[in-house]
Amino acid sequence: MRNTALSWLERSLGWLAASPRDTPPLFPVCTLAFSVGRYEELNLPIFEETMLVGRRVGAAQAEAYVMCTVAFAARAGGRFSDAAKALDRALRVFQSLGDRAGEAFALAQRGHLHRALGELAAAIDCFHQSADLRVGIPDQRGSAMSLSGLALAEAARGNLTTARGFAGEAARMLDRSGDRPGLSGALDNLAAIEIISGRFDHAVQAVERLLALRAVPDFHRSVGWNHLLLAQLRDRTRDTVGAEAAFRAARTVFDQIGERHGLAAVENAAAAR
């Protein structure tokens, strides 16, 4: 699947390279929304950015956004050097155009790359740079997502109180603005940090709240992963009945969309109880 995605992204870059630089502005919508990580035996949906929709950009900027998505696909496949090169290329384009929004997006992606590599000081620096740029634009959702990424990096570094502070502030910013999709992503990351902190009851509350928001369609794959996470968390808090209900909900979503990886994760988690 990752190779297929990279193939399509390379085709997209080819089409953009062949486009005249004065092509009318377009709407790139290919940027990632979330990934699924692991912590101990738990499957953790991690939101890195919300989907970029509605920003008109030129062909050069669109190419840079595609390169950010190439970087994510390469990172997911363990090709970290390729991911770094793609992000460097995207940053050069955004900086040459004075596009602070694009630069902030690429810096946040670089932060997640450093986080995946365990280079936590570098990750924290990238997230701070990204957040500073977004405050100056201003971009409230982007600022909150940069804070949320910063929280994940601080948690990985063991600074759990600081991490919960950043994650909680990101969620409050998005809640105050009525941004339900953004709040949903921030709550996922808050749940991940509560799990790393060993506060499973707080993590249950965060996941239950984000599912109650219904900020994305009921059969979006992230909903399935969150039901699975909730099932595993309820098991940890000895809510057997609630866990069974969440396992059923996860199976329903994954079966509806044909996500075999998700179905396998559900069966593995259920078998490990």
Which H or E run includes 44? Answer: strand 42-47
Classify residue 24 as exposed, middle or buried by CB count within 10 Å of its CB (0-12, 13-18, 19+). exposed
Q: pLDDT tens across 91-137, in order?
A: 999 999 999 999 999 999 999 999 999 999 999 999 999 999 999 99
Q: pLDDT tens across 217-266, in order?
A: 888 899 999 999 999 999 999 999 999 999 999 999 999 999 999 999 99
Q: Return the number of other C-beta atoms located less than 10 Å from residue 254's C-beta.
A: 24
The token pair at 134 is 């977004």
Question: Minimal CA–CA distance to 164: which of 150, 147, 151?
Answer: 151
pLDDT at 29 over 60: no
Return d(Cα 168, Cα 23) in angstroms, integer. 42
pTM as predicted: 0.87
Q: pLDDT tens across 199-213, in order?
A: 999 999 999 999 999
Residue whose tokens read 């953790």: 44
First to last CA, the chain: 30
Residue whose tokens read 């959702």: 141
> What are the helix (H) ranges across 25-99?
59-76, 80-96
